Chain A
Amino acid sequence: MQTAESVERRLRVSENARPRYSFGMLLVYAFLIVLALFCAIPFYLMLIYSTHSNAEIASSFVYWPGGALLENYRHMAEKINIWRGFLNSLIIAGGSTALSLYFGALTAYGFAKFRFAGNKTLFWFLLATMMVPGQLSLIGVYRLFSALGLLDSYAALIVPAAANAFNVFFIKQFIESSVPGEIIESARVDGSGEFRTFNTIILPILAPAVSALGIFAFIGSWNNFLGPLVLLFTQQKYPLPVVVALVQGYYGMDYGLLYLGVALSILPIIIVFSVFSRQIIGSVALGAVKG
């Protein structure tokens, strides 16, 4: 049944191969372009609407830049310091990325280049930790930081990042494929200590892979919302996503201003992505296939 059908289909294709092919091509491109527009429109509207006053937004559909950008900004700055949020996000995302990369590389190197007893088992355990949903431990995390006196501190959001199983997994792949054992051996012959070898010889080799992963880790941390919402209480310490939610609380009906808040929190990501899109997509693909 299936063969008859497919033979028939093949005949049909070869009969009038040319026009069918180009029509199909047109359909495929139309599909891709419509979907691409679908992806772009919300962000276009976000930028356009942030330049309009409340009255303009309420009255009709706008699709062209207006002149109320500065006014919206001035109004927002009365209650919300968005740059402070920006700085907080940079501190939290920067700190947790640096920690997660360094300890990720350290752990990956230990697993990749040392044949100690239990190596395989411990690595499987590490992979299994990736399957545990983070929200499960939220209440325990809250209690732990309250006991440590670290609630409402950046440390509560930065330190746990050091145990990032995904980074270990990713960097281990890279070490196994591109760090030859001879380098380590010759460093040993030269009398270099194991940690010195790691810090001065291995880390520089890992830099390209680690930096690609770093962009991805940075964005992940930048976007974190529930963590800071639960662990931080002081408005001065809120990162950008929480600040934006705060803008919503303060200015519920002031639309131009709300769009501006959203735009300011998303623009950095648009900029980073337009520069590093290949590295970001590459690290997603690489991490997923082996997992």
Chain B
Amino acid sequence: MKHVFSNSIRKDHYGYFFIAPFFIIFAIFGLYPILYSLYISFTNWDGIRDPVFIGLGNYRAVVQDPLFYKTLFNTLFIWGVSVIPQLTVSLVLAFILNETWIRGRNLFRAVFFFPHIVTAASFGLLVSLIFDWKSGGFNHFLVSAGWIGDPINWKDNPWFVRLIISSILFFQYFGYSMIIYLAGLQGIDPVLNEAAQIDGATRRQRFVKITIPLLKPVILFQVITSIIGGIQIFDQPYTLTNGTGDPDRSAMTSIMYLYNVAFQSTRFGYGAAIAFYLFLIIIVFSITSFVLSNRKTV
């Protein structure tokens, strides 16, 4: 017995060999590119010649760039309009599908989740086709149902385009949020609810005093991941607008702008500066939601 014990102690340093590949690969393909992007953000670089150091020039230029603000507004608007119904509808659905008397729970769960794993780029194009002015199924349906006289050019209106993208995001994410809430609900000890019920707590009291507080970490997790994901919206608006972000760049998100600046106009330094501003915004939003959610409990 003593032999086995000492043997296992001696083997513990082997752990480093097991985890080393991950950290080496992360250092090369994860950490280095971030640090290199940071360096590039202080330079002018066209992707061919050597980068020229210009200090904070890019950062100063980005703050004065109206298009940066416009694309940031687009991104936040699209995200905000989609995330509120996403996080509430999915919560309601999670409560419903957590009830044992519902028939076909697994089927509903699967159907609601399915849009989440559909290729976002393909889905953006699909929605673009359905909302097409002359040939889209949506207009044809509205006309044949007699709700509108002439087809409406949805994709020509800045607000409609943004709302369509918000709807796509809602469509692709509410089922995912629902699954996460459901997992959170199933993690709540049923004994707590039974005890409260015996003490005479109503359904609503149990919901407000037990379920919601215990779900709070899950809700916070959802809010923060949705911020990180929301700032990075790219695929759907890109294929929805055939890469243009039109009309009048009202559907151009921040990452689309970054992509255009860096990889279409080869202004890599400027693109990198945009990336770090976006990272800053993500951090500020995440910390804010973390602080807000902690204050409510006290």
Q: Residues of A with Cβ closer than 8 Å to B?
A: 2, 6-7, 9-10, 25, 28, 31-32, 35-36, 38-40, 42-43, 45-46, 49, 54, 57-58, 60-62, 103, 106-107, 109-111, 113-116, 119, 122, 126, 129, 131-144, 146, 159-160, 162-163, 168, 185, 188-189, 194-195, 198, 219, 222-223, 225-226, 229-230, 240-242, 244-245, 248-249, 252, 255, 258-259, 261-262, 265-266, 269-270, 273, 277-278, 280-281, 284-286, 288-289, 291
Of A43, A135, A265, which contacts B232 at CB under 8 A? A135
Which residues on A sit within 8 Å (CB–CB) of B34?
A: 132, 136-137, 140
Question: Interface centre among B21, B93, B176, by most A CB within 10 Å?
Answer: B21
Of B117, B119, B132, which contacts A265 at CB under 8 A? B119
Query: Which secondary structure dominates where chain A touches chain B?
Result: helix
Known A139-B272, A230-B259: A116·B125 in contact at CB below 8 Å: no
Interface assignment of B57: CB less than 8 Å from any CB of chain A: no
What separation, in Å, do the CA atoms of A135 and B65 have in the docked complex?
20
Shortest C-beta distance, B6 to chain A (Å), equals 11
What separation, in Å, do the CA atoms of A88 and B263 have in the docked complex?
23
Contact, CB under 8 Å: A111 / B19: yes
Interface assignment of B118: CB less than 8 Å from any CB of chain A: yes
What separation, in Å, do the CA atoms of A230 and B35 have in the docked complex?
19
Q: Nearest chain-A residue to B272 (Cβ)?
A: A139
Shortest C-beta distance, A167 to chain B (Å), equals 10
Question: Interface centre among B19, B176, B242, by most A CB within 10 Å?
Answer: B19
Contact, CB under 8 Å: A110 / B232: no
Contact, CB under 8 Å: B129 / A291: no
Shortest C-beta distance, B164 to chain A (Å), equals 12
What separation, in Å, do the CA atoms of A219 and B47 have in the docked complex?
32
Contact, CB under 8 Å: B40 / A139: yes
Q: Residues of B with Cβ closer than 8 Å to A?
A: 4, 7-8, 11-19, 21-23, 25-26, 28-30, 32-37, 40, 47, 93, 96, 101-102, 106, 108-115, 117-123, 125-127, 129-130, 132, 134-135, 137, 140-141, 143-144, 171, 175-176, 179-180, 182-184, 187, 202, 204-205, 218, 221, 228, 231-232, 234-235, 238-239, 242-243, 255, 258-259, 262-263, 268, 271-272, 275-276, 278-279, 282, 286
Of A46, A160, A277, which contacts B25 at CB under 8 A? A160
Contact, CB under 8 Å: B15 / A223: no
What separation, in Å, do the CA atoms of A88 and B7 have in the docked complex?
47
Contact, CB under 8 Å: B117 / A244: no
Of A163, A185, A291, which contacts B221 at CB under 8 A? A291
Q: Nearest chain-A residue to B279 (Cβ)?
A: A136
A-B pairs, 6 with minimum CB distance: A110-B18, A114-B15, A140-B33, A61-B140, A140-B36, A137-B33
